[in-house]
């Protein structure tokens, strides 16, 4: 593994740049925070895991050359981008349609873990801008002495690990607020509507924005 990493001066620059990018809120962070506020801390942390797996898929895609396909083919880019936007829109509609809980204290996790994990994975994976981000960012730190594809996968995994830590911090912070918001039925209804609006807004943002974005 260490043979696939650049020399320490370059690696330290990569770690610093990755940390700065990871703590900068993007669509992925907004998705995770919304999950935590509406469904609780554990749901937010499961969403972090799903987003991390999706971003690992994007890092792998960038390493094997799918980024070049997205850059060259506007149709391929548009198909994946709009598929992701439609999925976000679907999640927003589902949140609006979710039934009101009978108990004043909601369950710690409002949806099965597998579904929350799947949603985070799909939302992150169906974002070709993340693949393009990795394709533009990772080569700046590659060493000519090691295979570029394996280096890209190693650095991409390291970036995702850093982002997972910072995203978990956002999820935990939002999860601390969730219990207080969940005590009142009117607040729960407002939370679901706000969460649904955020997901639908993210869908519109994803569909209308340009070709590059940070990895969540």
- pLDDT tens, residue by residue, 109-128: 456 889 999 999 998 998 88
The yes-or-no verdict on residue 44 having pLDDT over 90 is: yes
Does the residue 213 lie in any domain?
Answer: no
In total, how many domains does the chain have?
Answer: 1
Contacts of 169 (CB under 8 A, 6+ apart): none
Residue 208, pLDDT above cutoff 70 = yes
Residue 108 domain flag? yes
pLDDT 10s digits, 11-30 = 999 999 999 989 988 888 88
Helix (H) and strand (E) counts in the chain: 9, 0
Task: Specify the pLDDT at position 187.
Answer: 55
Q: What digits encode the pLDDT tens for the residues 67-114?
A: 677 777 888 778 878 888 888 888 888 878 765 544 444 444 456 889
Q: Look at 13-17, 133-137, 147-151, 204-208 and tell me which has the smallest mean pLDDT.
A: 204-208
pLDDT of 209 above 80: no
- One-character DSSP codes across 23-42: HS--HHHHHHHHHHHHH-HH
Answer yes or no: is 74 within a domain: yes
Residue 129 within any structural domain of the chain: yes
Q: With 0-12 CB in 10 A as exposed, 13-18 as middle and 19+ as buried, what is 39? A: buried
Other CB atoms within 10 Å distance of the CB of residue 110: 19
- The residue among 102, 120, 140 whose CA lies nearest residue 199 is 120
CA distance 200 to 27: 12
What are the pLDDT digits (tens) for 161-200? 999 999 999 999 998 887 766 665 555 666 677 777 877 8
Reported confidence tier of residue 142, pLDDT bands at 50, 70, 90: confident
Amino acid 117: pLDDT: 94
In a domain, 214, yes or no: no
The domain in which residue 28 lies consists of: 2-208
What pLDDT score was predicted for residue 131? Answer: 85
pLDDT at 88: 82
Instruction: Enter the pTM of the model.
Output: 0.76
């Amino acid at each position: 593994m260490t043979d696939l990493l650049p020399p320490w001066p370059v690696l330290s620059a990569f770690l610093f740049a990755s940390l700065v990018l990871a703590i900068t809120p993007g669509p992925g962070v907004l998705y995770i925070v919304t999950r935590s506020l509406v469904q609780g801390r554990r749901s937010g942390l499961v969403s972090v895991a799903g987003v991390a797996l999706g971003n690992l898929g994007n890092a792998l895609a960038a390493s094997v050359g799918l980024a070049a396909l997205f850059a060259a083919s506007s149709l391929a880019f548009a198909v994946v981008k709009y598929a992701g936007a439609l999925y976000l829109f679907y999640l927003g509609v589902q949140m609006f349609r979710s039934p009101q809980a009978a108990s004043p204290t909601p369950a710690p996790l409002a949806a099965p873990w597998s579904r929350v994990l799947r949603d985070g994975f799909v939302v992150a994976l169906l974002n070709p801008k993340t693949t393009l981000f990795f394709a533009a960012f990772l080569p700046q730190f590659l060493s000519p002495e090691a295979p570029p594809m394996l280096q890209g996968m190693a650095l991409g995994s390291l970036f995702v690990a850093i982002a997972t830590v910072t995203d978990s911090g956002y999820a935990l912070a939002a999860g601390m607020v969730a219990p207080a918001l969940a005590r009142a039925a009117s607040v729960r209804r407002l939370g679901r509507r706000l969460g649904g609006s955020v997901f639908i807004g993210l869908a519109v943002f994803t569909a209308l924005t340009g070709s590059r974005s940070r990895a969540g």
